[in-house]
Amino acid sequence: MTLLQTLKNSQVMDNEIQELMVPHERVAHVQLKNPLDHALLVLIKSGYTAIPVLDTDYKVCGQIGKAQILDSILGIERMEMERLHDYKVEDVMTTKVPRLNKDETFGKALMLSINHPFVCIEDDDKAFIGLMTRRSILALIHRYFSKS
């Protein structure tokens, strides 16, 4: 039996994602109007490569990463660091960000995590309540197979 078949036949795919969620209070994030120098500082201090971008109502608008920020200040011959304050997060962020409702199952989160380092979790009003990292997903799978 393959790994995928084993997972499909197990109850792990039906687990709710809330048990693996990092609550929003513990998630590094930035807001749309923040300058890029602030976003870069948050990314460096947190150690993450990408973080969610929220609006003033704490709804997910996108994500921003170090690579996007550095691309925006890349000049012909050098990094133009002085331009960091000229741009806002909303100018360079990506709006493609995986999201799930808090009541979704682990199987859907697993599928979304293939191409993304994290999945944003929203409540029924689409407000950001936390995120699920690829690391937490892999840890659950590891725990499941370690027991077998």
Calculate mean pLDDT across residues 44-50: 93
The pLDDT confidence band at residue 9, using thresholds 50, 70 and 90, is low
What's the CA gap between 33 and 56, in Å, rounded?
A: 9
Which residues, other chains included, contact 52 with Cβ-Cβ below 8 Å and sequence gap of 6+? 27, 29, 30, 60, 62, 63, 97, 118, 120, 128, 131
Query: Residue 56: what pLDDT?
Result: 95
What's the CA gap between 36 and 67, in Å, rounded?
A: 12
Which residues, other chains included, contact 123 with Cβ-Cβ below 8 Å and sequence gap of 6+? 101, 102, 129
pLDDT digits (tens, 9 = 90+) for 48-92: 999 999 999 999 999 999 999 999 988 778 878 888 889 999 999
Query: Residue 61: what pLDDT?
Result: 97
Which residue segments constitute the domains of the chain, with CATH numbers given?
Answer: 3-147 (3.10.580.10)
Structure tokens at 117: 């380092």
What's the CA gap between 86 and 61, in Å, rounded?
A: 20
Which residues, other chains included, contact 55 with Cβ-Cβ below 8 Å and sequence gap of 6+? 31, 32, 61
Q: How much is the pTM?
A: 0.83
pLDDT at 2 over 80: no
Task: Report which of 123, 96, 119 is spatially closest to residue 109, judged by C-alpha positions.
Answer: 119
